[in-house]
Chain A
Amino acid sequence: QQKVQQSPESLIVPEGGMASLNCTSSDRNVDYFWWYRQHSGKSPKMLMSIFSNGEKEEGRFTVHLNKASLHTSLHIRDSQPSDSALYLCAASPNTGNYKYVFGAGTRLKVIA
């Protein structure tokens, strides 16, 4: 069964610092990756998606994807206390029923 592994489990960064989160899929059929952010008591909301090798930047957020290793990373620069949340990585294959599988998440805390 496909698994999505995220690391680290938790991360504390100072306000203004850089947070780096990692995600790897064990399914060679995976073609699509997303990063979701879930604030405490709320539902997950899509932050960024990446489907091609390389890098994608949106504001303070940058994602990288290496399809050969099925590894994606999310980097948050100039971290803010409002970035404190559970960050979930999701992966989906390009075949079958396109099931979205989520990792266990990285819990980020940004301290002022």
Chain B
Amino acid sequence: DPKIIQKPKYLVAVTGSEKILICEQYLGHNAMYWYRQSAKKPLEFMFSYSYQKLMDNQTASSRFQPQSSKKNHLDLQITALKPDDSATYFCASSPRLGGRGAETLYFGSGTRLTVL
């Protein structure tokens, strides 16, 4: 029974289009994240949110916009898609953002995005 739900599981898009990746977590966590993984790059941090507030953004492009409408939701909107955006996008969460007694990350099953 997955506690972090990502939708869709697979997504095919054309260059220049826009897509939204959905993430909902039911672990009662207060911190959520987006990571990206491709064959060319290791698991790469994109964003972190704590109590629905953006805490850190490591994406160079404004084409990637996280959206948090509820505490347990963190969607990712990607505009003007490029073939280089093809990757698996993982949503993750932790009880809190960090601190003493550092928090373990729990990952969703991922959305595999292919941009043609």
What's the dominant secondary structure at chain B's contact region?
loop
Check if B97 is an interface residue, CB within 8 A of chain A. yes
A99 and B42 contact, CB distance less than 8 A: no
Q: How large is the interface on A (under 10, 10 to 19, 20 to 34, 35 or more residues)?
A: 20 to 34
B109 and A34 contact, CB distance less than 8 A: no
Q: Which B residues from 67 to 86 make CB contacts under 8 A with A?
A: none
Give the shortest distance, in Å, between A50 (CB) and chain B (any CB).
11
| Residues of B with C-beta under 8 A to A103 | 42
Alpha-carbon gap, A88 to B37, bound state (A): 12
Give the shortest distance, in Å, between A94 (CB) and chain B (any CB).
7
Count how many chain B residues have C-beta atoms less than 8 Å from C-beta atoms of the other chain.
24
Closest B residue by C-beta to A32: B102
**Residue from the list B43, B99, B104 in contact with A88, Cβ < 8 A:** B43
Closest A residue by C-beta to B107: A43
Alpha-carbon gap, A105 to B39, bound state (A): 12
Check if A104 is an interface residue, CB within 8 A of chain B. yes
| Residues of B with C-beta under 8 A to A34 | 104-105
Give the shortest distance, in Å, between B25 (CB) and chain A (any CB).
13
Alpha-carbon gap, A98 to B102, bound state (A): 8
Alpha-carbon gap, A44 to B35, bound state (A): 11
Alpha-carbon gap, A51 to B101, bound state (A): 8
Check if A69 is an interface residue, CB within 8 A of chain B. no
Alpha-carbon gap, A88 to B44, bound state (A): 12
Q: Which B residues from 28 to 79 make CB contacts under 8 A with A?
A: 33, 35, 42-45, 48, 55-56, 58
A44 and B107 contact, CB distance less than 8 A: yes
Alpha-carbon gap, A99 to B109, bound state (A): 21
| Residues of A with C-beta under 8 A to B55 | 97
Check if A19 is an interface residue, CB within 8 A of chain B. no
A94 and B102 contact, CB distance less than 8 A: yes
Name B's A-contacting residues (CB within 8 A): 33, 35, 42-45, 48, 55-56, 58, 90, 97-100, 102-110
Q: 12 interchain pairs (CB within 8 A)?
A: A36-B105, A46-B104, A88-B42, A94-B100, A98-B97, A98-B99, A98-B102, A98-B103, A100-B33, A101-B45, A102-B45, A105-B42
